[in-house]
Structure 1
Amino acid sequence: MNRDVDDVLAEAGARWRADQPSPPEPDLDRMLRPRRPKRWVPVLAAASVAAIAVAVIQVLPHRDQAPSVAPGKEHPLLVRDGDKVQVEGQVVAAPSAPVYYCLPIATTLPLDVNQQTKPPACTPGQQIEVTGVDVNRLEDLTTVLGVKSGTARLVGTWNAGRIAVEQQSAPTPPAPGEPDKVPCPPPAGGWQPGDASTAITPALDAFVKARADQLQTPWIGWPEGSPNPKPGQPPNKPSVLVVGVAHGDVEAIRKALDPLVAANLCVTKVRVSQNEIAAQRAAVEKLPLDDLHITGIGVGVGDRPVIISLRILDQRAADVFRPIGLDNLTFQPLVRPAP
């Protein structure tokens, strides 16, 4: 990352943090990188989620990446007993014990560098019993002290917290991350080359903070795809500063921002403001996180910016989230309906 840009972002972040109740340090290295699939910080009991600073340009899953819920319809990620589901990841088979799919949950247990070799095992309480697995067909199969472990993509029937496997294959290779699409058409003459992060100034910071009931946190988009600059060079593709407007006139906001943003600018309509996002997040944090097997909470941008990682969106979880609004949230369940 360009040194000057680091300095600008660090100074802007410091100003923002001075007004906030002890948020964690922002990950400055992530600001200009295109989005990659996220793994959210585990929620242990009532862990809180950090607020997003204007200076920390979060490029997280955008509005068209989460399935919406039509009025009167079930959520497309809802799973009931008897439904076909899919999971991917580690499978562990110990002698004289059920075979388990291990949920990919980060652990906070300290690492003992002096510990002796131990057989593979799921994180305690983070496993799902699976039947019908051909253990010898697992990818990257290993055996340690009699316990077999490998990876697979499993498709089967969900019933009472177990999966009766009917299809087994190698895990799907991770797709390369791509930046979110800029939700504005290019202006006349196209998007201009340049680094939109340089538009993060004290004036922009003040403008956005003063309108937290109207605007979302700005973020950086890459309309021509991921940049691939040479080391020490600025991005080699145009970037755009995007500001979402939940309440108020989009064109009036754009005109007010124009003299403040010396870079490509996109001002677009969104459903919820920073204040409304904070209220949704606070409502989620008050839920019984452990009972619902919620493993992480994140905040992004777009129409469903509160992002919840959880074991499964079953009927019980859906009923608990319903007062907040199922279509106001983005769910990332580990057990998902099979296509």
Structure 2
Amino acid sequence: MNPIDGRDTVDDLLRQAGAQWRAEQPPAPEPDLDRITTGTQSSGSGPRRWVPALAAASVAAIAAVTLTVLPDTGSQPVQQSAPQLGPASLPPAGPTPQAVESVAQGNQPTGSNDDLLVRNGDKVHLSGEVIAAPNTAPLFCASHPIPMIGYLPGSAPKPSCPAGLQVTLKGVDVDRLTALTTVDGVRQGRAALTGIWNDKTVDVQQQSAPEPDLDLVTPPLQCLPPQGGWKVKPANLEAPAVTKFLDSHRGQAFGPVTYSVDGPGTAKAVVAFLGVAHGDRAAFRKAFEKVYTGNLCVGPARLSQSDADRLSKDIGGLMDRADLGITTSYTQMDGASENVRLLVYTDAVKAALAPIGLGDLRVEPEIRPVH
């Protein structure tokens, strides 16, 4: 039995029971986004669209994005719509012209991400979970999706980590970990560490309190408000004509993403953003305004919805390779890139991602070089 890998009969039974329970549950209802963003009840006609709702005031924001995630068991990647609720780093209600220009520049190719490459002998920084089992070197474990299972007191399994997301730590002080717990002799906590990388081993030189987990970044709305500001009016994004138009233009545009530009509430203005990756933006806007009646911002995007779907599928095909350590894929909310979260960006990972298109990808590794 390997306590770090979690290859334990009890663990397997618990995972199987949890998987069976989840499979038997009815699907969660999709949120009524018209009611969330405009305070009106949808008619229920036509297919629903999953629209990210982004608050633009200092309050909690709800963001829904399509994620491709590495499942806890099995080898096939799965896709799920994953809402995240929590404090957000929120954009201003109306960006300056400089901000709009900056956003447009951000929709250009992201390059090869070479500044994040890690090679043997490099000094690196990492922050997150540390697991220490008896008679075994402590491990750093990259963040990864796990099933939420409630355990009775005293029945929780030992902390474990998928083999492809483990990094051996030399010189870490387990007693100094934050939020240190022990289950069946296996200790678990969190820390920020700096040290030297060598073949999935870090020789720790500095240790401190852990840093906040990486959060989704909300890009600012690309459009300046019109004269007199954005008006309060319903956004008919779920209307059959609107959904039909957007579905027929998946190869051209990305979105929609809705912004509550004055903060949450039923009497606040909502703006729908659509990014046009291919073709004439003015012509696209003119055609869309024939079916859409709400506030609208049309701007540049690098990826269309079809582009994003293709990238997500291609990256998902790499997630069963433990040597790559890829955990999550999601599309930037302005269609600027497909963002890939992973353990560490090495030359081997770069080579695996290259056929997909490095210029369309932005990597977000948990282990980063210290320049």
When normalised by structure 2's length, the TM-score is: 0.69
Aligned to 2:14: none
1:213 matches 2:251: yes
The amino acid of 2:131's aligned partner reads V
Aligned to 2:206: 167
Q: Mark the CA change 1:285 to 1:199 in structure 2 (over 3 Å): closer, same or farther.
A: closer
| Larger strand proportion of the pair | 2
Please point out which of 133, 136, 145 is paired with 2:172. Answer: 133
Task: Tell me how far apart the structure 2 counterparts of residues 228 and 49 of structure 1 sit (CA, whole Å).
Answer: 29
> Residues 57-112 of structure 1, C-alpha deviation per residue, up to 9 Å, x if partnerless?
xxxxx988899645xx6523222222222222222223322011122223359766
Aligned to 1:49: 79
Aligned to 1:57: none
Contact (CA 8 Å) 1:142, 1:149: kept in 2 or not? yes
1:256 matches 2:296: no
| Structure 1 residues not aligned, in runs of 5+ | 17-25, 53-61
Aligned to 2:334: 302
- Bigger shift: residues 213-222 or 173-182: 173-182
Contact (CA 8 Å) 1:296, 1:308: kept in 2 or not? yes
Task: Tell me how far apart the structure 2 counterparts of residues 176 and 323 of structure 1 sit (CA, whole Å).
Answer: 27
Q: Within 5 Å, which residues of 2 pair with 1:29-48?
A: 31=53, 34=61, 40=67, 42-44=69-71, 45-48=75-78
Please point out which of 75, 80, 87 is paired with 2:114. Answer: 75
Q: Mark the CA change 1:7 to 1:250 in structure 2 (over 3 Å): closer, same or farther.
A: same
Contact (CA 8 Å) 2:77, 2:317: kept in 1 or not? no
The amino acid of 1:89's aligned partner reads G
> Residues 108-145 of structure 1, C-alpha deviation per residue, up to 9 Å, x if partnerless?
59766486465x42224242211121222211223445
Task: Tell me how far apart the structure 1 counterparts of residues 147 and 273 of structure 2 sit (CA, whole Å).
Answer: 36
> Residues 135-191 of structure 1, C-alpha deviation per residue, up to 9 Å, x if partnerless?
222112234454433211112221110111122111224588774311112212222
Give SS of 2:192's match.
Answer: strand
Contact (CA 8 Å) 1:49, 1:298: kept in 2 or not? no
Please point out which of 299, 303, 309 is paired with 1:278. Answer: 309
Aligned to 2:134: 95
- Bigger shift: residues 272-281 or 307-316: 272-281
Contact (CA 8 Å) 1:86, 1:155: kept in 2 or not? yes
- Bigger shift: residues 246-255 or 31-40: 31-40
Give SS of 2:187's match.
Answer: strand
Q: Mark the CA change 1:154 to 1:65 in structure 2 (over 3 Å): closer, same or farther.
A: farther
Contact (CA 8 Å) 1:304, 1:330: kept in 2 or not? no
Contact (CA 8 Å) 1:103, 1:122: kept in 2 or not? no
Give SS of 1:76's match.
Answer: helix
Number of residue-to-residue matches in the alignment: 308
Q: Mark the CA change 1:36 to 1:159 in structure 2 (over 3 Å): closer, same or farther.
A: farther
Task: Tell me how far apart the structure 1 counterparts of residues 129 and 122 of structure 2 sit (CA, whole Å).
Answer: 22
Task: Tell me how far apart the structure 2 counterparts of residues 267 and 193 of structure 1 sit (CA, whole Å).
Answer: 18
When normalised by structure 1's length, the TM-score is: 0.75
Task: Tell me how far apart the structure 2 counterparts of residues 325 and 64 of structure 1 sit (CA, whole Å).
Answer: 19
The amino acid of 1:13's aligned partner reads P
Q: Within 5 Å, which residues of 2 pair with 1:196-275?
A: 196=235, 198-224=236-262, 227-229=263-265, 234=266, 237-275=268-306
C-alpha displacement of 1:283: 2.9
RMSD: 3.7
1:150 matches 2:151: no
Task: Tell me how far apart the structure 2 counterparts of residues 189 and 218 of structure 1 sit (CA, whole Å).
Answer: 24
Contact (CA 8 Å) 2:69, 2:78: kept in 1 or not? no
Aligned to 1:190: 229
Contact (CA 8 Å) 1:221, 1:240: kept in 2 or not? yes
Aligned to 2:85: none
Task: Tell me how far apart the structure 1 counterparts of residues 358 and 264 of structure 2 sit (CA, whole Å).
Answer: 37
C-alpha displacement of 1:193: 3.2
Aligned to 1:336: 368
C-alpha displacement of 1:41: 5.6
C-alpha displacement of 1:213: 2.3
Aligned to 1:121: 159
Q: Mark the CA change 1:214 to 1:41 in structure 2 (over 3 Å): closer, same or farther.
A: closer
Identity in percent: 28
Q: Mark the CA change 1:64 to 1:121 in structure 2 (over 3 Å): closer, same or farther.
A: farther
Task: Tell me how far apart the structure 1 counterparts of residues 146 and 121 of structure 2 sit (CA, whole Å).
Answer: 31
Aligned to 1:293: 325
| Structure 2 residues not aligned, in runs of 5+ | 1-31, 56-60, 83-102
